[in-house]
């Protein structure tokens, strides 16, 4: 197994990996333990009590973080005519129809984080399965990336809309900001994610649903969050910051 570096080991000295921390305290710890030479992303991993082998228990969807992600997504739009004009106006980075399909197919162009398509172009976009599929970039109506309301979709993804879904063992991983964010911003985003996951709870999920949650920075150790107190602490923090 790979060994951790000095910086990581030093950081872990301040964390009890078995203890549960309040959300605000966890955010402070993650921020203080970040020592990389770049603005690290703050990530949230939530273990859910679902059986991801059952299709009806896959938790997935999209959400927009109230404080944003701290990163501007590169959005590609497969659209023609008026839709293409709307996409450009909304701030899409790459817009095209046949030409974009050909560029992806022939040159393997995938320099974007999100792909959005209008329904009439899905027939052509579908041929790009071998290129877009493995990167999770295939537009899908369930994630709002196949739509006729192009300008709204582009604006939302540019504004920090995120896709999430359970992995093979029932965990959901999402970024909830940057280390440079304020404590309140990260708390607000984390609370929004937890709320969204509770909203998306499958009806067939049995037993405890939110099993555990861990907050970490890109290169820092994880800090376990006390989920029972997320809302109390979040409300308290947000109230404090408002006053």
- Contact footprint for other proteins (CB under 8 A): 119-124, 126-127, 129-130, 133-134, 136, 138-142, 146
CB of 175 to other proteins, least distance (A): 21
Alpha-carbon distance of 225 to 9, in angstroms, equals 20
Which alpha helices (H) appear in the chain, and where do they start and end?
A: 6-12, 23-33, 82-90, 98-107, 122-125, 129-132, 150-158, 183-199, 230-242
Specify the DSSP element, H or E, that contains 232: helix 230-242
CB of 194 to other proteins, least distance (A): 25
Closer to other proteins by Cβ: residue 120 or 195: 120
Other residues' Cβ atoms within 10 Å of the Cβ of residue 111: 10
3-class secondary structure, 90: helix
Closer to other proteins by Cβ: residue 72 or 140: 140
Closer to other proteins by Cβ: residue 32 or 127: 127
3-class secondary structure, 110: coil
CB of 202 to other proteins, least distance (A): 16
Closer to other proteins by Cβ: residue 12 or 124: 124
Nearest alpha-carbon partner for 50 in 162, 163, 171 = 171
Alpha-carbon distance of 96 to 77, in angstroms, equals 7
Nearest alpha-carbon partner for 217 in 181, 170, 169, 241 = 181
CB of 135 to other proteins, least distance (A): 9
Nearest alpha-carbon partner for 181 in 73, 75, 71, 72 = 71
CB of 134 to other proteins, least distance (A): 4
Closer to other proteins by Cβ: residue 84 or 234: 84
Closer to other proteins by Cβ: residue 6 or 130: 130
Nearest alpha-carbon partner for 195 in 19, 64, 57, 52 = 64
CB of 138 to other proteins, least distance (A): 6
């Amino acid at each position: 197994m790979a060994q951790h570096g000095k910086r990581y080991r030093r950081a872990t000295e301040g964390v009890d990996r078995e203890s549960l921390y309040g959300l605000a305290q966890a955010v402070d710890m993650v921020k203080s333990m970040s020592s990389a030479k770049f603005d690290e992303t703050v990530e949230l991993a939530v273990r859910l009590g679902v059986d991801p082998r059952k299709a009806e228990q896959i938790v997935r969807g999209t959400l927009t973080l109230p404080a944003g992600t701290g990163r501007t997504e590169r959005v590609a739009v497969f659209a023609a005519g008026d839709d293409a004009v709307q996409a450009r106006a909304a701030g899409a980075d790459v817009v095209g129809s046949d030409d974009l399909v050909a560029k992806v197919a022939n040159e393997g162009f995938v320099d974007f984080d999100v792909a959005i398509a209008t329904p009439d172009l899905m027939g052509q976009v579908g041929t790009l399965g071998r290129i877009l599929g493995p990167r999770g970039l295939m537009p899908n109506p369930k994630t709002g990336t196949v739509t006729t309301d192009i300008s709204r979709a582009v604006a939302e993804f540019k504004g920090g809309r995120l896709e999430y879904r359970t992995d093979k063992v029932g965990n959901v991983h999402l970024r909830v900001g940057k280390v440079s964010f304020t404590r309140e911003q990260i708390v607000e985003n984390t609370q929004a994610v937890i709320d969204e996951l509770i909203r998306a709870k499958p009806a067939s999920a049995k037993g405890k649903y939110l099993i555990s949650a861990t907050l970490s920075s890109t290169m820092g150790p994880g800090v376990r969050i006390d989920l029972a107190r997320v809302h109390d602490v979040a409300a308290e923090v947000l109230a404090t910051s408002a006053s």
